[in-house]
Every structure is written in structure tokens, then in C-alpha cells.
Amino acid sequence: MRKASTVISGIDVSSHQGVVDWGAVSQSGQSFAFVRATLGAHSADSQFAGNWTRSRAAGIMRGAYHFFWPLASAADQADHFIEVVGSLLPGDLPPALDLEEAILQQNPQQDVWTTVPADNRLPMILGWLATVEHALGVRPLIYSRQTFLEDLLGQGVEELADHRLWIAHYTKAAKPRFPQSWAAWTFWQYAEDGSVGGVSGNVDQDRFNGSIDDLRTQLAKP
């Protein structure tokens, strides 16, 4: 008899996916989802409110994430995220901080992170994390790629290792590459071109590193 899969699958979405049918997402076997809430200090994802409400109603374990914009105040970005998300409910996943290239539309060849002095980068990130953890009562996750994170922070990446890791690595390998400062990854975004019921077009696909009971230990408590 074929052994049942123990992979805990999920997706992450933003306004790029348009309106998501979360009932169909749940029926497709997805257990969790991260939804983009905010970008920088002033922009909210146009689909966040609907995704946030409907994913929970469909029985999906939901988490909200923030895209960090290095040219904006970390404090303002944290306050904006907190205002948009509000309070977490029992059963919600930890919030996540998205650290990746920040590209200006008028200059798509430049990552504006490169304009931030190296010594300023880690304090900005730690400031956002601390403010959000204090306000929401849950330690945020770090989302990034190994090479980006290590190039951005150098040895400073070790300062983030007490935050659980959501690693992006698009591969068909059995496990992802991730910075050695972490003993293990918690979530893995393994594909950016997935097909999932309830989502039009491509969608990012994720896995949780553990059982469904392990996943429940990650959730916000009453």
C-alpha cells in the first residue's frame, strides 16, 4: 500500500493573484497560506482584506507578511503593518518579514538595498522585527533567499537566527539551501509557478517542515 504523503502544503499570495477562491484552495489540499499585507511605509496590498478574511473562513491557517522597503523608516513600516493587520487571532501563523531585492520601476537594474550603508541594514531589520513582535505578541518569521540574505548582511545574518526561517529556493531537490546560522528551515517556498485550485495563473508554493501537529505549535495562542 502506498504511504500517505506527510508533506504539509501551502501557498503565498498577493494582489498579483487577483481574487482567490479560498474554498477551492482548501479543497485542493492546502493547509496554510501567507498573504501580503503591506509594502513599505504607506502601501497596503489591495487584496489583503479579502484574502485575510476569506482564508480563515475556509479553514486555512493564515499568516500576513510585509515587504520591506529599505528607503523608508523601519518604525513607520512596522506601524503601518500593525495598523493594517490589526491583532492576530488564535490559530493565525506568525507574521513574516519579506527581505529581497527592492527595485524602483524607473531603474529596474538597481536594487536600492545597495544604496543603504551596510552598517545600517541590520538595525533597520531588527527594529521592524522588535516593534511588530511587541505589538502582536508573536515573534515574526524571516522570509528570504540564502544568497540574498548573506550578501545583504554578511556575518550579521547570525543576529536573525532566533527568528524562524521561511526560505525561498526554487528547486526539485528534497530540501532547500539555507544560511548555516539556522539549524533548520520552518517554511520553504519551493516554486513560484505552481498551479492550485482557486487561484488563477501561477502561484508560489510552500511546504512546512514538520507534521500538521507541529504546524499547530507555530500558531498564535489565545
Active site residues: 12, 98, 100
How far apart CA 195 and CA 32 sit, in angstroms, is 15
CA 136 to chain centre: 16
What DSSP letter does each residue of 103-146 carry, written as one string? Answer: EETTEEEEEGGGGS-HHHHHHHHHHHHHHHHHHHSSPPEEEE-H
How far apart CA 99 and CA 185 sit, in angstroms, is 16
* Closest to 214 in 3D by CA, of 184, 173, 189: 184
Our CA dihedral for 76, 81, 84, 90, rounded to 10 degrees, sits at -140
Return the CA Rg of the chain: 17
**Strand 96-98 relative to strand 107-111, pairing:** unpaired
